[in-house]
Amino acid sequence: MSIISARSNRILLLYYIVIVFFLFSPILMGFYFSFGEQRFPSFPIDKFSLDWYADAWADSKLLDALQRSALVAALVAPTATILGGLGAYADYRYRYPGRRFALALGLMPPTIPVLILALAFLAYLSELHLTASLYGVFIAHTVICLPFAMALIRLRLSQLDPELESAAWNLGAGEWRAFLHIVLVFCRPMIFVSLMITFIISFDEFTIAWFVSGTEQTLPVKVLNMVERQSSPVINAIGSITSLFTLAAILIALLVIKRLDRTKWHD
Amino acid sequence: MSTKSMKVGEKIAAIQTAMMKKMRRVSPFSIAMSTPMLGYQVIFFLIPVCYIFLLSLYRVEFFATVPAFTAENWIHIWSQDYFWSAFGYSVLIGTVTAILSSVISLPIALYLGLSQSFLWRFLCLGIVIAPFFTNFVIRAHTWRGILGESGPINTLIRYVGGQSIQLVDSLVGTIIGTLSLSLPLVLLLQTLSISAVDRTLISAGLNLNARPVQAIFHIILPAARVGLALGFAFSFVLSFGDFISPTIIGASRPPVLSTLLVEQIRGGNHWPRASVVAVSMFTFLFTLVLATILWAYKEPGGEKK
Amino acid sequence: MTDTLLELSRIRKEYGQTVAVDDLSITVSEGEFLAIMGPSGCGKSTTLKMLAGLEAPDAGEVRYCGQRVNELSAWQREIPLVWQNLALFPFLSVRKNVEFGLKMRGVDSQTRSEKAAFWLRRLGIEECAERNIKTLSGGQRQRVALARCLVLNPKILLLDEPLSALDPKLRISMQALLTGLQRELGITFIYVTHSQDEAFAMADRIIIMKDGAVQQNASPQRIFNNPANAFVAEFTGAFNLIEGCIKSSTDENVIASTSVGDLCIASNALDRPQAGTQVLAAIKVHGCQIGTKSKGMKENNQVRGVIVGEEFVGSRSILHVSLTQSNTFKVEYTLGNEKTTRVRVGDEVDVFWASKDAQLISLGNEVMETSHE
């Protein structure tokens, strides 16, 4: 018997929808505005046009920025996934002194305000002469994407009965082969999810890229410049497209994670 | 023992030793597994963060940062009124956002957390989390459009005959921005902790004559205290350190610590002073989160046998 | 005759396709210790939850002192429950746990404190009052759970397998505590368990359930002496069962032909069954002995079998004697001293019993007698 009455349940559902609407309104509105002919978003839109999408496509600097974002993200995704995945496995399998410290280090970046991290990266990477380049952005993004990869893969590993690895060893598989044939195969779906999520995070990340990239601007940084110059509707056009991709990726990730529950190799 | 069984015994021992060797703690395999992540984070995360502590003590000579051990940056920044007023505003934004997001999320967290269906909870949380991954700069920019003079809200207000309200370029706008940032996270943490409450505790409470509302306040919330506290803490951290909402939606009115930090970089490239702001922020937040966690995990009584 | 305090009338409860409880009717009198017993999934916990109002029956009525209370929600009823996993609030101290129900009823702080202190003292745990429940032992936690309910001065107390997590020695002392309390306070206890030992040790009356239906509702003695059907007989573990066909009957005895030969069984309250009726003979394990004819056994039933297993209970053992391929009888056997030769697994022995220790049960699970003394 639930302690929430049926009537309260309906009200709460309605309330939930309102909140979802609130959270999605910038995305929905951005989408709406991108079709407006006027330069400044007004409500309601008088004339519909696809001009801004055409403008976005024509802006070569914008496309360059897009390319850079995609490039960095494409490199960050596998790197963060591998590093995070190995960290997750080490935490799953071993009990060593300093395990907690490693775990903390692996999961801490999202808890520190991004601005502080951005400054840290700027100062540190400039000492290494890696700023004003995409290498710096790549390194920094890996640091902040790694925790997500680690958390996701660690979650998946907790569904794996440790005795399965032992059984593989017992049957003659060495540690490496057992890892390859048992652990990796089991984690495959989540590795896929991790690649997607780390890609999105890197692609959409602004603050760190802004500090570190200098003239090699990634897309979000370029967007900020445009925001400051008030060239708004093109921003809406870009925003609509990237949001669509991001949301689609999240949807796929959720579907994969949900299906994982049925493929537990434990109890 | 016969010779045959001795040979078997030896063979078993040999296999066991071989297996032990394979599973020995320090093997190339274990090193290959445990060092990469740790090494990477130490080099590219731990050291940089420690570096800014150091950086706050450096000096700037002729537009270049020079290693030093001076407190002049600290004195300079901490003696400015604008630093403390920015600090105050950051705390204000953090607190208001944390309170608002916790209160707004709670009914939904109860609804989802107490729901029987794992699938429904997963679906609803998934929908709420999704916007979190989209580009925040673009979202903030669109908020400007929504909350602005010619945006849908004010248009609606004027349509029904009212006066348009100032939402952008103000504290209100900033808070709306930080709210949209922290609500998903708070909702997630609250829902997870409420769904983890042992259901028999709730039934036991009802059996002891607690009405549903009493069950919520006297059983569910205390039992979910950790998640609720963490949600509040992280919402505060996110909003306190947010740069995009105050700058884009609030147009730096009022200026907050994050604005200040960026100013130090952009307008003059004074990294040591920027570090002072960063370290101040970090220390403050760290203490706050630590205190929250300690409070959240505090147990009643607790004398050990 | 004591009043009927609580009554379940034709209760039915379904979970999707599964029927947990079907056409269940139970009456509970004031001051009695009632045990509800049965295998897992028989519906006993569901019944308890329906009494407490935590589940609603799909059909039937729950009546308290004659009044229908189906619509009364859980928090409006005053039937506290001692939970199987105790359900103590980990975020409250022992004292606050005990005071909880009083607080929910709006009792003021002073009174709450006094009542809680009284019960903590009464159950011997007053020094634990301010401690966190995680620091208590299993037995202490049990007492907290009890105190939490008793402080509310209930007329009825529900207990859902409360002792199942305790070790044997602690279990026995807790049983003594519970029976002592029940007698002293005169509270009606409704005690759910799957342990036959517990039920038979503590209860005035036992209801045995299977698949959501009552199999027998009687005192422990009666269940042992006159099991209502095959299930109950088997459940007690105190009977050897064998199928047979009636050959003839007299006023005293009935002869049934079985796969181990013709058996002589005492007639019970049944009308004399007709020849040819399929029946189940239930022979008390306690009445079976092994031995040789030369010892002068006067019992009128004897079969031969082979010992296939042995169970130990202290100095006594229970031998499993295989009579035919599908019939194994349990026989009690005392080890005696070193001088007497022991029987071992594999030995051929004769099993004897008197007809008075055997009775007829009709085949199937129909309940033959539901009256209780």
DSSP string, C18-56: EEEEEEEEEEEETT-EEEEE-STTSSHHHHHHHHHTSS-
The pLDDT assigned to A42 comes to: 65
Q: Which of C225, C250, C279 is the last residue of a domain?
A: C225
Q: Do A22 and B244 touch (CB under 8 A)?
A: no
Distance between CA atoms of C166 and C170, rounded to whole angstroms? 6
CB atoms near residue A229 (< 10 Å): 8
What is the pLDDT, as a whole number, of residue B304? 41
User: Looking at residue C30, which CATH number applies to its domain?
Assistant: 3.40.50.300
> Mean pLDDT score of chain C, rounded to an integer?
85
| Pairing between β-strand C4-15 and β-strand B64-66 as defined by DSSP bridges | unpaired
Q: DSSP 3-state assignment of A112?
A: coil
One domain, residues C158 and C265: no
Mean residue pLDDT of chain B comes to 87
Measured over the CA atoms of residue C289, residue C293, residue C297 and residue C303, the dihedral's sign is: positive
Whether C225 has a pLDDT exceeding 50, the answer reads yes
Cα separation, C223 vs C225, in Å, equals 6
* CA distances for A161 relative to A85, A168, A172, angstroms: 17, 12, 18
8 A C-beta contact, residue A179 and residue A86: no
pLDDT for res C371 = 36
User: Looking at the predicted structure, is the pLDDT value of residue C267 above 80?
Assistant: no
What are the C-alpha distances in Å from C348 to residues C266, C344, C345? Answer: 27, 9, 9
Inside any domain, residue A74: yes
Residue B24 has pLDDT above 90, yes or no: no
**In terms of domains, do C185 and C242 share one?**
no
Looking at the fold, whether C182 and C76 belong to one and the same domain comes out as yes
Which of the listed ranges B86-95, C164-173, C247-256, C349-358 does the model predict with the highest average pLDDT?
B86-95
Cβ contacts of C74 on chain A, cutoff 8 Å: 1
Contact B30 A224 (CB under 8 A): no
Question: Is B175's pLDDT higher than 90?
Answer: yes
Same domain, C142 and C243: no
Distances in Å between the Cα of A54 and the Cα atoms of A35, A57, C166 are 11, 5, 75
Cis peptide before C227 (omega within 30 of 0): no
Other Cβ atoms less than 10 A from the Cβ of A195: the count is: 20
Number of Cα atoms under 13 Å in the Cβ half of residue A22 = 18
DSSP letter for B197, please: S
Rg (CA), chain C: 25
Residue A142 half-sphere exposure toward CB, CA atoms < 13 A: 28
**What average pLDDT score do residues A231-255 get?**
87
Q: Is B56 exposed, middle or buried (0-12, 13-18, 19+ CB in 10 A)?
A: buried
Q: Measured between beta carbons, which residues in chain C are less than 8 angstroms from residue B304?
A: 135
Do C92 and C149 belong together in one domain?
yes
The answer to whether residue A42 sits within a structural domain is no
Q: What's the pLDDT band for B151 if we cut at 50, 70, 90?
A: confident
> What is the rounded distance in angstroms from the CA atom of residue C342 to the CA atom of residue C316?
12
ipTM: 0.87
Q: If you average pLDDT over residues B33-47, what whole number do you get?
A: 93
Chain B residues inside the 8 Å CB shell of C52: 207
Q: How far apart are CA C81 and CA C72, in angstroms?
A: 16
Measure the CA–CA gap between B165 and B144, rounded to whole angstroms.
Answer: 13
Same domain, C12 and C104: yes
Q: Report the gap between the CA of B59 and the closest CA in chain A (Å).
A: 14
Percent of chain B with pLDDT over 90: 54
- How many angstroms separate the CA atoms of B155 and C279, rounded? 88
pLDDT tens, residue by residue, A70-127: 999 999 999 999 999 999 999 999 888 888 899 999 999 999 999 999 999 988 998 8
**Interchain proximity A29–B146, CB inside 8 Å:** yes
pLDDT value at B244 more than 50: yes
Helix (H, G, I), strand (E, B) or coil at C125: coil
pLDDT of residue C191: 94
Q: How far is A158 from chain B (nearest CA, A)?
A: 17
Contacts of A234 in chain B (CB under 8 A): none
pLDDT confidence of residue C368: 43
CB contact under 8 A, B301 and C131: yes
DSSP state of C151: T
Domain span at residue C170 reads 4-225
Residue at A15 is within a domain: no
> Would you place residue C373 in the very low, low, confident or very high pLDDT band (cuts 50, 70, 90)?
very low
Q: Is C56 on the interface with A (CB under 8 A)?
A: yes
Whole-number pLDDT of residue C299: 63
Q: What percentage of chain C has pLDDT greater than the value 90?
A: 29
Predicted pLDDT of residue B214: 92
Residues of B in contact with A86 (CB under 8 A): 32-34, 36-37
Are C198 and C285 within one domain?
no
Question: What is the arithmetic mean of pLDDT over B135-148?
Answer: 89
Check: CB of residue A120 under 8 Å from CB of residue B51: yes
Strand pairing category for C213-218 and C278-284: unpaired
- For residue A245, pLDDT over 50 is answered with yes
What residue of A is the nearest CA neighbor of B133? A201
Q: Which chains would you list as touching A if contact means 3+ CB atom pairs under 8 Å?
A: B, C
Contact between A232 and B126 using a beta-carbon 8 Å cutoff: no
* Residue A241 CB neighbours (<10 A): 16
C-chain residue closest to A2, CA distance:
C54
The ranges assigned to domains in chain B are 3-55, 80-296
Residues C266 and C218 in one domain: no
pLDDT number for residue A168: 84
CB < 8 Å to C91, chain B: 222-223, 225, 299-300
Q: What pLDDT is attached to residue B303?
A: 43
Q: What is the CATH number of the domain that holds C317?
A: 2.40.50.140
Terminal Cα distance for chain C, rounded: 11
Residue B92 pLDDT level (bands cut at 50, 70, 90): very high
Q: CA B167, CA B261: separation in Å to the nearest integer?
A: 25
B200 contacts chain C (CB < 8 A)? yes
**C29 phi and psi angles, rounded to 5 deg:** -95, 165
Integer Cα distance of B77 and C94 in angstroms: 52
Looking at the fold, whether C200 and C76 belong to one and the same domain comes out as: yes
Question: What local confidence, expressed as pLDDT, does residue B13 receive?
Answer: 65
Tell me the CATH architecture of domain B80-296.
Orthogonal Bundle (1.10)
What is the pLDDT confidence band of residue B305, given thresholds at 50, 70 and 90? Answer: very low
Predicted structure pTM score: 0.82
Please state, in angstroms and rounded to a whole number, the distance separating the CA atoms of residues A113 and B257.
Answer: 12
Contacts of B244 (CB under 8 A, 6+ apart): A206, A207, B136, B137, B140, B177
pLDDT of residue C367: 46
* Contact of B279 with B54, CB cutoff 8 Å: no
Largest CA distance in chain B: 104
Which residues, at least 6 apart from C171, have a Cβ–Cβ distance to it below 8 Å?
A: C163, C198
Size of interface A-B (CB pairs under 8 A): 265
Lowest mean pLDDT among A28-32, B106-110, B288-292: A28-32
Question: Chain C partners of B203 at a C-beta cutoff of 8 Å?
Answer: 54, 74, 83, 87
Q: Is the pLDDT of residue C295 over 60?
A: no
Q: How far apart are CA C257 and CA B79, in angstroms?
A: 108
pLDDT over 70 percentage in chain C: 91
The pair of structure tokens assigned to B150 is 């010619």
Q: Count Cβ atoms within 10 A of the Cβ of residue A14 and give its class: 0-12 exposed, 13-18 middle, 19 or more buried.
A: exposed
Banded model confidence at residue B1, pLDDT cuts 50, 70, 90: very low
Residue C167 and residue C49 share a domain: yes
Q: Is the pLDDT of residue C109 over 90?
A: yes
Q: Residue C254: helix, strand or coil by DSSP? A: strand
Banded pLDDT at B222 (limits 50, 70, 90): very high
Q: Would the pLDDT of C343 be above 70?
A: yes
Mutate to test the interface with A, among B47, B58, B133 (most CBs of A within 10 A): B133
Task: Report the residue of chain A nearest B135, measured CA to CA.
Answer: A204
Residue C296: is its pLDDT beyond 60? no
Q: Identify the pLDDT of residue C153.
A: 92
**Are B169 and B149 a contacting pair, CB within 8 Å?**
no
**The residue type at A147:** P
**Closest among C157, B258, B95, C351 to A117, alpha carbons compared:** B258
CA distance B140 to B247: 9
What total of structural domains would you count in chain C? 2
User: C241 phi and psi, to 5 degrees?
Assistant: -115, 140
Distance from CA of B286 to the nearest CA of A (A): 9
Q: What is the CATH number of the domain that holds A242?
A: 1.10.3720.10
Question: Could you tell me the two tokens for A205?
Answer: 């990340």
Question: Across chain A, what does the average pLDDT equal?
Answer: 86
The sheet with strand C328-334 has its strands ordered as C289-291, C348-353, C301-313, C316-322, C328-334
- Whether residue A97 contacts residue B26, with contact meaning beta carbons closer than 8 Å, is answered with no
pLDDT digits (tens, 9 = 90+) for A172-226: 888 888 898 889 999 999 999 999 999 999 999 988 888 888 777 788 887 787 7
pLDDT digits (tens, 9 = 90+) for A33-63: 888 777 666 667 677 778 778 877 888 788 8
How far apart, in whole angstroms, are the C-alpha atoms of residue A194 and residue C246? 74
Chain segment C71-96, per-residue pLDDT in tens: 888 888 889 999 988 889 988 899 99
d(CA B79, CA B3): 88
Report d(CA C163, CA C159) in Å as an integer. Answer: 9
* Rounded-to-integer distance, Cα C212 and Cα A169, Å: 48
pLDDT-derived band of residue B11, with 50, 70 and 90 as boundaries? low
C-alpha C333, offset from chain centre: 25
Q: Are residues C47 and C164 in the same domain?
A: yes
For C342-345, which contacts have Cβ atoms below 8 Å and span 24 or more sequence positions? C343/C290, C343/C307, C343/C319, C344/C307, C345/C307, C345/C308, C345/C309, C345/C310
Query: How many angstroms away from the CA of A1 is the closest CA of chain C?
Result: 6
> Would you say C364 and C336 are in contact if contact means Cβ atoms under 8 Å apart?
no
Given C185, C202, C225, the domain boundary residue is: C225
**E strand map for chain C:** 4-15, 18-29, 33-37, 59-64, 67-68, 81-82, 156-160, 188-193, 205-210, 213-218, 239-249, 253-258, 261-266, 278-284, 289-291, 301-313, 316-322, 328-334, 348-353, 358-362
Q: Which domain holds residue A236?
A: 59-263
What confidence score (pLDDT) does residue B207 get? 93
